[in-house]
Amino acid sequence: MEHFWARLNDLPDEIIMIILKKLYNVEVLYYFIGVNKRLNTIAHDSIFSSCLNLYQYFSDDHYICPLPDPMLNRFCSQILPEIHNKIQWLNLESSSMKRILSATNYPNLYGLGLYDINVEVAPSLFTDESFFNPLLKNQILSLVIDIVENDEQSSSEYQHIFIFTQIFTMFPNLKYLNFGPSSIFYQRLSFGIPPPTIISSTLLELHVCLDHFIDCLYLLDGRFNQLHSFHVHIFSLFALATTINNKEKLSSLKCFSLHCDSTTNSYERSILPLLYRMINLEKLDLHLMIECNQEFVDSNDLKKNIINRIPGLKNFVFNIRSMRYFCDEIRLPLNEDIQHTFNSLQNNKIISYVNYFPEAGHSEYHIYSYPYKLKFYRNITNNFPGGLFKYVTEVSLFDEQPFEHEFFLRIQKSFPFMKELTVINQKPQNKKQYENFKNYDQTLSIIKYPHLTLLNLGCVHDDYIEQFLFDTKMCLSNNLYLIIDYQSLARVTHNFQRNITRINCAKLRYLRLHGEYTILKHIDL
């Protein structure tokens, strides 16, 4: 180690900074503070000391745990007191956060991230006067809180409402709040009637998950009168009768993001009237699934009902699927016309296409802005127009027409960082008939999904199980979680004896089987 420090010390400061930026800030502080005067000065730089994540995060399992004891002990006894006046933001986990917050004073701390907070402990954080000292309560301007449950716990909506309400009492100068960033299930708020009293004249930006559209109206009824950015994920956009003030203009709001994964028929009755209240809106992000009685929500609709009605709109990001039942094929706007419609905005490109599902008796029109920055892309069909989606990690495929080998090759190219894939298709592949010809498999490109960790084949024709398990067609990644029907798996693997499936089956780490089955000891997946 002495040789390593000596060699490192021979490098100019600029090169050392480049090297240290490749490390986590806590690693820089832990390993370089106290080595020598020069490295100590570099480690104290605000690049490494202003924002600290004082926990371990294992991305494969989405697991958070405290720092190892030796590291945590040294941070609390030496490092944090030494750099306390440089720290501006702390991200903490539940078991060590009280110790870290009491290790020293933090005169310039303005932001807190509280992660993996147990649902039973969370209420006490905002009622125990000793947890946050009075100075810290007034200092905190930004807060992120992430509440979790284990299998033996369940939280009520009243707990979440209580915590949400107490946050504004505990931190009276709060300007930024992100309530529940990791899960839209555990921390959905539903305020009920009458709703609790929450008022803040300082809050500027709010990220929250809600149960119903009426909860969104409640938060926008004037109690956060300085709010300029509102990001909301709503479970249901079903509109209920309400006496909540939903007419007054929201003149302070400049940025609005609305995401909903359930289908709504309240686009014209609820969503558009809400948008029209935002008279100074500059940025809009919509992710919606809309049930239409007449026309699809296409580029002409977006131009007429949103762009023309919100003159200050500069940036419009959207992902909108609209559905109609028993719809014949229709004429849609040309791509050139669509691009012209959005010329006044900052979007680079607009993609749209239509899917027809005659067996289900409906059609679907999908229009979205590109580049596409959501983490998921659902219900991809054979009409998928392609493109590169580097942010997407969750993909689902569905069609009433078969998926051929070349289609899965397109998916590989479009989603290079895909981690979860669900396939739903009961139609046999058309090109299977050619597989009887000699050397057919040698003409196929072997498909690789290098980051895939979960594969759901629970509702597919046997051809797609062959598609993924045959080593002549697919090279699966190691440690895969496979969801599949037992009888289908047994058929395709010839009761787990088929050589062509052995290599990919050997890569499975977890297996969830549907249907009736008996696992025999001699079966080696």
CA distance 55 to 93: 6
Rounded to the nearest 10°, the torsion over CA 93, 96, 101, 103 is -150
Q: Looking at 81, 109, 137, which one is the last position of a domain?
A: 109
Q: Are strands 63-65 and 89-93 parallel, antiparallel or unpaired?
A: unpaired
**Would 212 be classed as within a structural domain?**
no
What CA–CA distances, in Å, run from 284 to 88, 229, 254, 278?
Answer: 30, 10, 9, 10
Q: Are strands 188-189 and 176-179 parallel, antiparallel or unpaired?
A: unpaired
**Would 207 be classed as within a structural domain?**
no
**Closest by alpha carbon to 524, among 499, 516, 512?**
499
DSSP secondary structure letter of residue 172: T
**Would 517 be classed as within a structural domain?**
yes
What stretch of H or E contains 272?
A: helix 272-276
Instruction: Tell me: cis bond preceding 371? Omega within 30 of 0 counts.
Output: yes
Residues 6+ apart with CB under 8 A from 148: 116, 117, 118, 119, 182, 183, 186
On whether the CB atoms of residues 235 and 210 are closer than 8 A, the answer is yes
On whether the CB atoms of residues 453 and 60 are closer than 8 A, the answer is yes
The pLDDT, as a whole number, for residue 347 is: 59
Q: Looking at 86, 109, 132, which one is the last position of a domain?
A: 109
Read off the pLDDT of residues 279-333 as tens digits, 9 standing for 90 and up. Answer: 999 999 999 999 988 788 988 899 999 999 999 999 999 999 999 887 666 655 5
Q: Are strands 420-425 and 394-398 parallel, antiparallel or unpaired?
A: parallel
**3-class DSSP state of 129:** coil
Token pair belonging to 149? 């449950």
On whether the CB atoms of residues 97 and 143 are closer than 8 A, the answer is no
Tally Cβ neighbours within 10 Å of residue 18. Answer: 11
**Would 247 be classed as within a structural domain?**
no
Entry field: residues in the chain = 525
The pLDDT, as a whole number, for residue 33 is: 92
On whether the CB atoms of residues 168 and 133 are closer than 8 A, the answer is no
**Would 209 be classed as within a structural domain?**
no
What stretch of H or E contains 443?
A: none
Q: Looking at 56, 82, 109, which one is the last position of a domain?
A: 109
For 420-432, letters b (16+ CB in 10 Å) and e give bbbbebeeebeeb
CA distance 9 to 12: 8
CA distance 258 to 230: 8
**Would 466 be classed as within a structural domain?**
yes
DSSP string, 426-439: -SPPGGGGGGGSTT
Ramachandran sector of residue 34 (left: φ over 0; alpha: ψ -120 to 50; beta: rest): left
Angle at 211 between CA 209 and CA 214, to 5 degrees: 105
The residues that bridge with 290 in the sheet, in sequence order, are 264, 322
CA distance 355 to 114: 43
**Closest by alpha carbon to 418, among 378, 452, 385?**
452
The residues that bridge with 397 in the sheet, in sequence order, are 380, 423
The residues that bridge with 178 in the sheet, in sequence order, are 144, 207
**Would 320 be classed as within a structural domain?**
no
Domain range for 424? 375-434+444-524
The pLDDT, as a whole number, for residue 130 is: 76
Token pair belonging to 238? 């079903």
CA distance 501 to 466: 8
Residue owning tokens 């009622």: 127
DSSP secondary structure letter of residue 267: I
Q: What stretches in the chain show pLDDT beneath 70? A: 1-6, 60-61, 149-157, 181-187, 192-195, 239-246, 327-348, 432-443, 517-525
Number of domains in the chain: 2
